[in-house]
Amino acid sequence: MKPLRLLLPLSALLIGPALRAQEPLAADELARGGRLLAAETARLERLPFRLELAPERASGLKAGEAGALFLPDQRILQTSGRRQAKDGQTKERKAGRGAAQPVGQLWLARLVPLQGELALSADALRRVKVTEEGRERDLVTFTLGIEKVRKSGPQLALHGRDGAVVLRVPLTAEKAKGGATTLTARKLADDRGVLELRLQGRYRAEIPVTLASS
């Protein structure tokens, strides 16, 4: 496997004095990381649904060894907000369960999502080993889908190990025209922050994260 240059020396995504230490991945890093992680996603087993990834539209950020990269599904890029909700409801009825519309694949380095005040347990995480300059590194990856939960609005479901839903976060409706699908971050405390995922100016989701233990 070719080296994956997504991980860099540890700095300050969540623990530095200012969020400006966090920076988006450069175009060449996105292109290289997008292709490699799309190939890794294709090898994953027990995904909750079929993905049609668009690695050329990857979005990501880095701060030292901590980093995140999001690979959107082509269908989320092509579908309007109203159509997203309709498609999600239709697929939910057919499936008879929550997760409906594919959103994409999220890859994390040295970061773990939070459920309340606690990091997700190790047995909930789908870990994948990648090679970086001859060294194996552990990344964590989640399959993302829009889910309509009874008596509540749409949510973003994070599917971890064996395709099981391990976390749900609310999706906030937005009305920005011509919006892009982007992944950014902001700091909340010394050891934690939020990944903010915007979907085509239609939805916004906040995924709380903390630094993974060494």
DSSP 12-23: -SSSSS-GGG-E
Determine contact, residues 71/58, Cβ cutoff 8 Å.
yes
pLDDT of residue 188: 76
pLDDT of residue 59: 96
Determine contact, residues 131/1, Cβ cutoff 8 Å.
yes
Query: pTM higher than 0.75, yes or no?
Result: yes
pLDDT of residue 21: 61
pLDDT of residue 155: 95
pLDDT of residue 175: 79
Average pLDDT by consecutive 10-residue portion of the chain (214 residues)?
A: 40 36 86 93 96 96 90 86 48 48 96 96 96 80 91 91 96 82 86 92 95 82
pLDDT of residue 13: 34
User: 205: which strand partners?
Assistant: 171, 197
Instruction: Dig out the tokens for 125 from the structure.
Output: 């995480």
CA–CA separation, 41 vs 135, rounded Å? 20
CA–CA separation, 163 vs 32, rounded Å? 26
Instruction: Dig out the tokens for 35 from the structure.
Output: 């292709």
pLDDT of residue 187: 84
pLDDT of residue 85: 46
Instruction: Dig out the tokens for 20 from the structure.
Output: 């400006």
Q: Which has the closest alpha carbon to 23: 33, 11, 37?
A: 11
Which H helix or E strand runs over 139?
A: strand 135-148
Q: Where are the domains of the chain?
A: 19-211
